[in-house]
Amino acid sequence: MRKGFLIDMDGVIYRGGEMLPGADRVIATLRERDLPFLFLTNNSQRTRRDVATKLRRMGIDACEEDIYTCAMATARFLARQKPGGTAFVIGEGGLLQALHQNGYSIVDHDADYVVVGEGRTLTLEMMETAVRLILGGAKLVATNLDPNCPTQNNGVRPGCGAFVAMIESATGVKAFSVGKPSPIMMGGAGMELGVPSDDIVMIGDTMETDICGGVQMGYGTVLVLTGGTKTTDLAHFAYRPDYVLNGIGDLLEHPWLKETSPEAEPLCSGVSNYELSPTLP
C-alpha cells in the first residue's frame, strides 16, 4: 500500500541546529518513491517559509508546502469557528501570519479569542491583558500544551503549555488546545496527504504528543529514540508505538521505503519485549 508520512522535526530530523543521521536520505527517498509526507511541528514561532529555509540549510530538500505547523492548524480552526474574528495573541511571527492569512485581525481589546503560542516576547503586561480579556468573555485557545521547548544548546525553556497554565490559574478557564496530539491538527495534516488514514504513519520522538496523537487517529506510529523518549519510558504508557527505531535513518531499511517488498512486521510485540540496538547518543 502507498503510505503517507507525518514527520516530527526536533528530535527526529534534527537536534538543536544539527541534522540527525540519515534524515536527508530518508526525505530524498520519500520524494524518489513519490510518497507523500509533511513535516509537523508544535512550534508556532516560525512561518512555513522560515522552517523550510532552516531545513534546506541543513541539507534537507524542503519547501513551504511540506510544512504543517500548530499555528496553521490553530488559525484554520478559528477561521471555521468564527470567520473574520479577532484575537489577542501571545506569540510571534508564525502565529501572527497564520491568523492574518486566515482572515483574523489582531487586537488588544474586545477580542473574540486569546490565542497563546510560544516565544521569547512574553511580558507581564501581555499576561494581564489576556486575563482581563478572558474574564470579559474571550475564549482561551492554545496552539499546543507542550510545557517546554528545546533550545539550541540542548537545554529547555518554558513553552506554550507553561504560559497557558499561568492564564488558566489566574482565570479559572481551561484552554482549548489545537496542536499535537489534538485530532484537529493530526487529522488536518493527515487529510492533506491524500491517502486513507489506515495508510498514514506518524514518526516522532515524543510519546505524549507524536505517538499519542497518531494512536488516537488510528495512524501507524514510529517512535525514534533520538529525542525525548527512552526505551525505559515506554512501560509507563497505556499505548505503544507500532515500531521503534534508533533514529530516522533506520527507516531506510524498512519495507515502506522499498519499491517492492512485503508488508513489514512490527519491530516490537509489546512494551516488555522490545528488540533494539543501542540508542544513539
Which amino acid does the sequence have at 192?
E
Which bin fits 168, alpha (ψ -120 to 50), beta or left (φ > 0)?
A: alpha
Report residue 54 as a C-alpha cell.
532552516
Cα dihedral 51→23→207→275 (10° resolution):
180
Report residue 126 as a C-alpha cell.
501581555
Give catalytic status of residue 242 as yes or no.
Answer: no
Which bin fits 247, alpha (ψ -120 to 50), beta or left (φ > 0)?
A: beta
Q: In DSSP terms, which residues pair with 40 in a beta bridge? A: 8, 68
Q: Report strand pairing: 37-41 vs 4-8.
A: parallel
Q: Which of 10, 24, 66, 146 is catalytic?
A: 10
Which amino acid does the sequence have at 40?
L
- State how far the Cα of 96 lies from the Cα of 75, in Å rounded to an integer: 9
Q: Report strand pairing: 148-150 vs 156-158.
A: antiparallel
Kindly report the length of the chain: 281
Give catalytic status of residue 50 as yes or no.
Answer: no
Instruction: Please give the C-alpha separations between residue 156 and each of 16, 51, 150, 159, in angstroms, as whole numbers.
Output: 11, 19, 4, 9
Residues assigned a catalytic role = 8, 10
